[in-house]
Amino acid sequence: MSNQGYMLRTQPSIEDMVSEALDIIREAQEIYAPKRTYAMVSGGNDSITMLHLVRPYIDAAVHINTGIGIQETTQFVRDTCVDWGIPLIELVTPPETYVDILMRANGFPGPALHATCYHRLKSERLHELQRDYSKRGEKLLLLSGAREHESGRRM
């Protein structure tokens, strides 16, 4: 079978992707001059890989403990940060927040309440991070393991 007329797409090498990502971080630090740079770490493979790569560029790792995740994951994040010598900021969502969401939804929240869940469980913690770990007007740079092709909304 002939490939004539078709362009073969080549995947960039992992080295090229890492280099590009680190260039973006350095450029963002130059342009925006953040007071602090934090790595947002969920405990999943992407965020742990990102954490390993960005260690020289960050002031601390940040983990949002929503209270609805697996506690072993939170412990894994804590242990990894200790093992790697990375300061960890753990932001904890009050348990009553999720209970309140369940009560409003009359059960498990479906897709219609995704934005509400995100805001109450995570976004409010990000506002706490800004409030508690920077002075008024100081910029923070937050890094995540989200990949552009996976989630254009999160980019």
Beta strands in the chain (DSSP E): 36-40, 60-65, 88-92, 140-143
pTM of the shown model: 0.76
User: Look-up: residue for tokens 């007071």?
Assistant: 35
Contact 53, 22 (CB under 8 A): yes
Q: What letter does residue 109 receive in the DSSP assignment?
A: -
Mean pLDDT of 58-68: 89
Q: Give per-residue pLDDT as tens, 130-140.
A: 888 878 878 99
Q: Give per-residue pLDDT as tens, 8-62.
A: 667 888 898 889 999 999 999 999 999 999 999 999 998 999 999 999 999 999 9
Q: What letter does residue 145 receive in the DSSP assignment?
A: -
3-state secondary structure of 90: strand
| Residue 7 pLDDT grade (very low, low, confident, very high; cuts 50, 70, 90) | low
Residue among 50, 31, 30, 33 at smallest CA distance from 41: 50
Share of the chain above pLDDT 70, in %: 72
Neighbouring CB atoms inside 10 A of 82's CB total 11
Contact 91, 62 (CB under 8 A): yes
Contact 39, 146 (CB under 8 A): no
Residue among 142, 141, 91, 77 at smallest CA distance from 121: 91
